[in-house]
Amino acid sequence: MKFILSMVLVLSLGFSVASGTVFAGCGKKVTNKGTLKSVDSGTKVIVVASKGEETKLTLTPGTKAKGAKLADMVGKYVTVISEHNKVDSVTLAQK
């Protein structure tokens, strides 16, 4: 009986540790290039349009605007780097 209980304990701890590392921050950065359609400072959401598709991304306190203020970039071509739809940076770009 002790053997069975100890095996159950070992297996359950092993799975919980393994699944915890899987869901840890993956660090995968996504780059969106397109026209910055809108910036909503109330809901902290920006919309980037590219090839007829619009992508909504969330601003964070760590979001950096490079090249101009975020509000001044509306209507211009930008590069947005994000992770899990949370914006890391917005940069004015060339087409």
- Evaluate whether residue 6 is within a structural domain: no
- Evaluate whether residue 68 is within a structural domain: yes
- Evaluate whether residue 13 is within a structural domain: no
How many domains would you assign to the chain? 1
Q: Are 55 and 90 in contact (CB under 8 A)?
A: no
Among 64, 39, 59, 37, which Cα is nearest to 48's? 37
- Evaluate whether residue 65 is within a structural domain: yes
Domain membership of residue 80 as a residue range: 30-92
- How does DSSP classify residue 72? G
**What pTM was estimated for this model as a whole?**
0.71
- Evaluate whether residue 10 is within a structural domain: no
Element (DSSP H or E) covering residue 13 = helix 2-22
State the pLDDT confidence band at 3, using cuts at 50, 70 and 90: confident
**Domain CATH for 87:** 2.40.50.320
pLDDT, tens digit, 9 for 90 and up, residues 19-50: 444 455 678 999 999 999 999 999 999 999 99
- Evaluate whether residue 38 is within a structural domain: yes
Check whether 4 has a pLDDT greater than 70: yes
